[in-house]
């Protein structure tokens, strides 16, 4: 067994999902589905019983992402997948025996298969023949860090009049999607902004700095193979290595990598926040 951390800290976040997307893209695009084999249809919502019939024979045209949803684009529709709290996808050789918590295999004509394993079953899978961005799960999602509409102006606008702490605003999925707990702490450190500051008190320049910091930290995490998480395993089975490059996250009591003062841990909205009081104002 791999070690398990506190459940709330080990959600696959945007970098993990993007890493998964990149990991499965090459194996999937251009391939045709032979069958969808469901081992256990119980996810957050049950897998539709006619899904195997819908997908059989269709070619996969692209593998995209919106927030933490993976979008498998087929000839006649799109599969919208969410990894929930504990889901992982692997590309495996055909006839690899299924194990505990394996939900389904998407079997491809060339002999490979895409397998979903989700011990806690909070993941989801939906098929739509409409434009996926109009699907009820995606329609109301806030801008995400890499989108053009997430910029200094946007952050400035949504923080005006908001007395909530800036960390809470970054974690509010109705305002920004995809900045999880780890990356919020790290980005605020890089921008030198104290996570407890009232959002409305950020200057225009700090909003610009924070947008750059959020993108930088997510880009680094994706480049490092996605994950900092204890028991998250990328599509190739290797844990990510971004953890070593964290400035504050889970470094309470250790020396700040910039000034040497001890990193502090506080609680905001029942989640841990890490900061350096010397560096962040
Ligand atoms: Zn410091």
Please provide the distance, in angstroms rounded to a whole number, between the alpha carbons at the two ends of the chain. Answer: 42
Question: How many residues appear in the chain?
Answer: 281
Which pairs with CB-CB distance under 8 Å and at least 24 residues apart come from 70-76?
Answer: 70/17, 70/20, 70/21, 70/24, 71/132, 72/28, 73/132, 74/33, 76/129
Taking every pair of Cα atoms in the chain, the longest distance, rounded to a whole number of angstroms, is: 60
Give the count of alpha carbons within 13 A of 266, CB side only: 12
Question: Percentage of the chain with pLDDT > 90?
Answer: 68
Return the higher-pLDDT residue of 205 and 15. 205
Over residues 191-242, the pLDDT tens digits come to 999 999 999 999 999 999 999 999 999 998 888 765 444 334 444 444 455 7
Over residues 151-197, the pLDDT tens digits come to 999 999 999 999 999 999 999 988 999 898 999 999 999 999 999 99
258, 279 Cβ separation under 8 angstroms: yes
Backbone torsions φ then ψ of 15, nearest 5 degrees: -60, -35
191, 213 Cβ separation under 8 angstroms: yes
Q: Identify the pLDDT of residue 241.
A: 58
Catalytic residue IDs: 12-13, 68, 271
165, 275 Cβ separation under 8 angstroms: no
Angle in degrees, CA 112, 109, 45, rounded to 5: 70
Q: Identify the pLDDT of residue 88.
A: 87
Q: Identify the pLDDT of residue 9.
A: 41
What is the Å distance from ligand 1's center to 183 Cα? 17
DSSP 9-58: G----HHHHHHHHHHHHHHHTT-BEEEEEES---SSSPPPTTHHHHHTTP
Across the chain, mean pLDDT equals: 88
Give the highest mean pLDDT range of 40-49, 227-236, 260-269: 260-269
Q: Identify the pLDDT of residue 139.
A: 92
What's the rounded Cα separation, in Å, for the pair 64 and 21? 7
Q: Identify the pLDDT of residue 226.
A: 53
What is the Å distance from ligand 1's center to 228 Cα? 21
Please give the structure tokens belonging to residue 147.
Answer: 């989108």
- Checking if the pLDDT of 134 tops 90, the result is yes
Please give the structure tokens belonging to residue 142.
Answer: 């806030």
What is the Å distance from ligand 1's center to 137 Cα? 40
What is the Å distance from ligand 1's center to 189 Cα? 8
Q: Identify the pLDDT of residue 136.
A: 95
* Bridge partner residues of 105 (DSSP): 37, 115
What's the rounded Cα separation, in Å, for the pair 230 and 268? 22
- Checking if the pLDDT of 5 tops 50, the result is no
Please give the structure tokens belonging to residue 183.
Answer: 């990356």
What is the Å distance from ligand 1's center to 195 Cα? 14
137, 69 Cβ separation under 8 angstroms: yes
What is the Å distance from ligand 1's center to 198 Cα? 20
What is the Å distance from ligand 1's center to 98 Cα? 48
Q: Identify the pLDDT of residue 178.
A: 86
Q: Identify the pLDDT of residue 236.
A: 43
What is the Å distance from ligand 1's center to 134 Cα? 44
Return the higher-pLDDT residue of 157 and 20. 157
């Amino acid at each position: 067994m791999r070690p398990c951390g506190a459940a709330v800290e080990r959600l696959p976040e945007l970098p993990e999902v993007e890493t998964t997307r990149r990991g499965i893209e090459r194996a999937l695009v251009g391939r045709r589905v032979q069958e969808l084999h469901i081992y256990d249809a119980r996810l957050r919502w049950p897998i539709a019983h006619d899904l195997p019939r819908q997908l059989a024979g269709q070619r996969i045209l692209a593998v995209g992402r919106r927030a933490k949803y993976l979008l498998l684009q087929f000839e006649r529709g799109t599969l919208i997948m969410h990894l929930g709290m504990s889901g992982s996808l692997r590309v495996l050789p055909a006839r690899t025996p299924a194990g505990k918590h394996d939900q389904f295999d998407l079997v491809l004509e060339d002999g490979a298969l895409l397998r979903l394993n989700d011990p806690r079953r909070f993941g989801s899978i939906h098929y739509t023949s409409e434009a996926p961005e109009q699907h009820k799960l995606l329609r109301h999602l806030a801008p995400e860090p890499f989108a053009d509409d997430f910029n200094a102006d946007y952050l400035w606008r949504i923080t005006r009049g908001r007395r909530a702490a800036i960390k809470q605003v970054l974690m509010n999925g109705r305002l920004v999607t995809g900045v999880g707990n780890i990356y919020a702490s790290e980005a605020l450190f890089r921008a030198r902004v104290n996570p407890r500051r009232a959002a409305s008190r950020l200057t225009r320049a700090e909003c610009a700095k924070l947008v750059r910091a959020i993108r930088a930290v997510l880009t680094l995490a994706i480049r490092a193979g996605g994950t900092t998480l204890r028991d998250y395993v990328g599509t190739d089975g290797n844990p990510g290595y971004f953890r070593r490059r964290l400035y504050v996250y889970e470094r309470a009591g250790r020396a700040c990598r910039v000034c040497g003062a001890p990193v502090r841990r506080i609680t905001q909205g029942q989640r841990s926040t890490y900061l350096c009081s010397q560096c962040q104002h």
